[in-house]
Amino acid sequence: MTTDAPTPPTTTKESYCSTSTSSSCATESSLEKVATKKAVFQDVERSDSVSARERLELSRIRSGAVDMDLDEQEQELQRGMSRVDSKNPDVVGWDGPNDPANPFNWPNRKKWRITLIVALVTFCVAFASSVFTAGISSIAEEFHISSTVATLGLTLYVVGFATGPLVFAPMSEVYGRNVVYIGSWIPFMLFQIGCALSKNAATLLVSRLISGIAGSSPLSNAGGTLGDIWTPAERGDAMSFFTLAPFMGPVFGPIVGGFLAEYVSWRWTFWLVLILSGVMFIFLLFAMPETYSKVLLERKAAHLRKETGNENLHAAHERGGVSHMQRFGQSIVRPVVMLVTEPIVFLISLYCALVYAILYMNFVAYPIVYQRERGWSMGIGGLPFLAIGFGMVCAVATSPYQTKLYLKLTAERGNSKIYPEGRLPFAIFGAFCLPVGIFWFGWATLPQVHWICSVLAGIPFGFGMVILFLCMFSYLVDSYLLYAASSLAANTLLRSLFGAFFPLFASRMYIKLTPRWACTLLGFISLAMAPIPFLFYKYGPAIRARSKRTF
């Protein structure tokens, strides 16, 4: 990737590989630890007083016959080198820094194909969440239930977003990305049929819950996929493109669903999702390669064992007596642990959860404002969401400038390492665009104010929302390289819980308080959260230095 800004050493592919068999760079402290251990073992070998038992133990460590702590194994994966001796001939790694099998070295056209697929898959599941809202009144009427009970179809689907990644994110870090994508996509498609053919509310709600759980894997794993293939200097543009997907889906859902519910049937919203997900399944099956280095190195080692007959060949992280199930057991609790113990993960997740909840509350607020108060039809009443979509596109258009600023800050402050805080300057600006859009929308809904004024308020809201998510997602991925999927899963957990339950009381809140005062309340809450990006921009390096999981 070329740029006019000075490029720091960490932005090159070579910096992600050691001179021997690394899959990605180690932290400075980890390398010092390895160097110290090497020196110690060399002293032991040279010592005449060392016992035969000690020499045997040293030999066992070198051969990988001893168990390793799980976190040390994860560090091994990140380095792609032997725990003690990187020249161990039995350790299988990348063939130098330019190995074409290393995902960081894949051609850009292949990387962008992968990015496009994960973005479209994420768009599809996000679209399925909000397309349902257009048919809530029709569903309530047909099944003789209240609108609040019908809204549970949205709530349960987004609850699935919260619970699914707790399993899918660690699964992807143990078994690879593709098996999770494909394995979860099949039930996601099947339960769209259950929704479309449901004869009662119970069947519909259960099908929505299961389809939400199954469709949640891209929300946490796609970020890990992008971290697998893009270097930090390149990742900004890819993350910009990807971040648009989970928000453009909810924007287009009410628009398309409104016209389908008005002119055909609410059931066709699910048939449409089934068609889209079927196309995505073909892409996942035939055009999506495995990207996770751990799995790729395991496959390489297995191939070499078969080819050479040397059963001692292994990837660095495969040594020891730790099974896949033990790894999975540790990984499945990691998102929750990170949410509780990592200040970066918790505060960013809390902020994202608030923004996400406000977005989903708009699915209730917009029909009240435009259909109930202004008398618009279901189809036309969804069109104001286009303004939010336009703001999102404007946010993504800033990506080249964000990347240029990131490279500049990394060169100046990164000390030849990744500088995650370089992702945050635009988030500081976006944090204040968000409350501006909320206040604007609320007070522009007065009956005497022309409708275009309230519609245009969606532009700063959409812009601020995507800028925030884009910068903060990138910040999480850069800060927790190896645990990117788990950090995003923790984010998705809290964000989805907020997005699930806030719409349940949104209708009553907007009616009781009126849209003006409801938006005033939300605006002040978002304004109180606005300093978070600045706090991490200023104090992030000190916070990361105290964490054992950050880069």
How confident is the model over 59-112, as pLDDT tens digits? 333 333 333 344 444 444 444 433 333 457 778 888 888 889 899 999 999 999
- Structural tokens at position 387: 């303004």
Q: For residues 456 and 454, give the distance between their C-alpha atoms in angstroms, rounded to a whole number.
A: 5
pTM beyond 0.75, yes or no: no
Full pLDDT tens readout for the chain, 551 residues = 434 444 333 333 443 333 333 333 333 333 344 344 444 434 434 444 444 434 433 333 333 333 334 444 444 444 443 333 345 777 888 888 888 989 999 999 999 999 999 999 999 999 998 899 888 889 999 999 988 899 899 889 988 888 887 788 778 877 889 999 999 999 999 999 999 999 999 999 999 999 999 998 887 788 789 888 988 777 777 877 777 787 788 889 888 998 998 899 999 999 999 999 999 999 999 999 999 888 888 888 888 888 888 887 877 766 655 566 666 676 677 888 888 889 999 999 999 999 989 988 888 889 889 988 888 888 898 899 999 999 999 998 888 888 889 888 988 887 767 889 999 999 999 999 999 999 999 999 988 899 999 999 999 999 999 899 889 988 988 888 777 767 877 887 888 888 888 888 888 899 889 999 999 999 999 999 999 999 999 998 899 888 877 76
Closest of 217, 127, 155, 133 to residue 357, by C-alpha: 155
Which pLDDT does position 349 carry in this prediction?
Answer: 93
pLDDT in tens, 154-180: 889 988 888 887 788 778 877 889 999
Q: Which amino acid does the sequence have at 367?
A: P
Angle, vertex CA 26, rays to CA 21 and CA 32, nearest 5: 105
Handedness of CA 366, 369, 370, 371 (dihedral sign): positive
CB-based contacts of 246: which residues, under 8 Å, 6+ apart? Answer: 122, 123, 126, 219, 469
